[in-house]
Amino acid sequence: MTGIIAAMSCEAELILGAMKDRSPRVVGGMTFWQGRIGDEDVVLATCGVGKVFASACATAMIITYNPDKIINTGVAGAVSNSVNKLDTVVGTALVQHDMDTTPLGDEAGLISGINKVYFETDKELSDKLYSFVELCGGKAKRGIVATGDQFVASAEVKSRIATLFGASCADMEGGAIAHVCFINNVPFAALRTMSDGADGDASGDFMEFCNKAAKISSDVIISYLSTSK
Ligand code: ADE
């Protein structure tokens, strides 16, 4: 079974619409839709915005459905100059840009206990998703996804995240889901289409391009799942 997590309903509704024989179940305050796309068993959840909702959702999904992989899909803000609006970033690794114990002498983004800054994604799954972005007519890029409880909307913050972490884009859930998948040994991939440039125009661009960007990543997920068996 493949688990799919999106933050907002606009990022999940097309995927939900493509699911056959679907039925809902509420676990830990989250609604999980179980069904099929093509011949693949799928569980889909709309977790809500931010790292706490994302980790609560990933944990409940893993404990309840035991998926063999989880994909986080949706929109993001581009922080690298080589990533443009409506490009799709397939994550190579995820980092939590607001994790900060640097006053204690740690590296920025370090997660104590497991001593990690970056969570690598599953290569085979990411390569497949990358090929489907191109098949769906999207512009595919690979890069690091930086996650924090912050909608990035300034040149300064954007440049800090790009410089400090080598990130391509910023979201608000991926790094938390990657973290939960890591501690549970579940292969993980991230697929994010750019709704904005994480700069001073980000809020207006987000409103304008969010649905269009969400459709691109949803189309990729649906095409991938339709042919994955
Ligand atoms: N998701 C979409 N755009 C974003 C941004 N600029 N910052 C964080 N998450 C986002």
- Contact of 5 with 51, CB cutoff 8 Å: no
How far is the centre of ligand 1, averaged over its atoms, from the C-alpha of 152 (Å)?
A: 6
Buried b (16+ CB within 10 A) or exposed e, 150-176: ebbbeeebbebbbeebbbbbbbbbbbb
Q: What is the pLDDT of residues 133-149, one digit of tens each?
A: 999 999 999 999 999 99
Tokens of 183: 């501690």
Share of the chain above pLDDT 90, in %: 99
157 lines ligand 1 (CB under 6 A): no
Q: Could you tell me the maximum CA-CA distance found in the chain, to the nearest angstrom?
A: 52
Arithmetic mean of pLDDT, 47-52: 98
CA of 128 to the centre of ligand 1 (A): 24
Query: Does residue 33 contact residue 18 with C-beta atoms inside 8 Å?
Result: no
Mean of the per-residue pLDDT values of the chain: 97
Ligand 1 center to 229 CA (angstroms): 33
Q: Is 77's C-beta closer than 6 angstroms to any atom of ligand 1?
A: yes
The C-alpha R_g of the chain, in whole angstroms, comes to 16
Q: Please say whether the beta carbons of 172 and 11 come within 8 A.
A: no
**Is 196 a residue of the active site?**
yes
Place of tokens 């114990």: 101
Q: 172: CA distance to ligand 1 center in Å?
A: 7
Specify the pLDDT at position 229.
Answer: 66
Residue 218 is predicted with a pLDDT of: 98
Mutation probe of ligand 1 site: the residue of 172, 194, 210 with most atoms within 8 A of C-beta: 172
| pLDDT on residue 133 | 97
Atom 5 of ligand 1, residue of closest alpha carbon:
77
Q: Determine if ligand 1 sits within 6 Å of the CB of residue 196.
A: yes
Q: At 164, phi and psi to the nearest 5?
A: -70, -35
> From the candidates 11, 171, 173, 219, which is the catalytic residue?
11
Tell which one of 53, 75, 89, 191 to mutate to probe ligand 1, the residue whose CB is within 8 A of the most ligand atoms. Answer: 75
- Look at strands 139-147 and 87-96 and give their pairing: parallel
Distance 127 CA to ligand 1 centre (A): 24
pLDDT higher than threshold 90 for residue 228: no
Ligand 1: residue whose CA is nearest its atom 9? 171
Token code pair at residue 170: 């910023």
Q: Which fold has domain 2-226?
A: Rossmann fold (3.40.50)
* Mean local confidence (pLDDT), 209-225: 98
pLDDT digits (tens, 9 = 90+) for 4-44: 999 999 999 999 999 999 999 999 999 999 999 999 999 99
Task: Tell me if the pTM is above 0.95.
Answer: yes
Secondary structure of 41-88 as H, E, C letters: EEEEEECCCCHHHHHHHHHHHHHHHCCCEEEEEEEEEECCCCCCCCEE
* Residue 206, ligand 1, Cβ within 6 A: yes
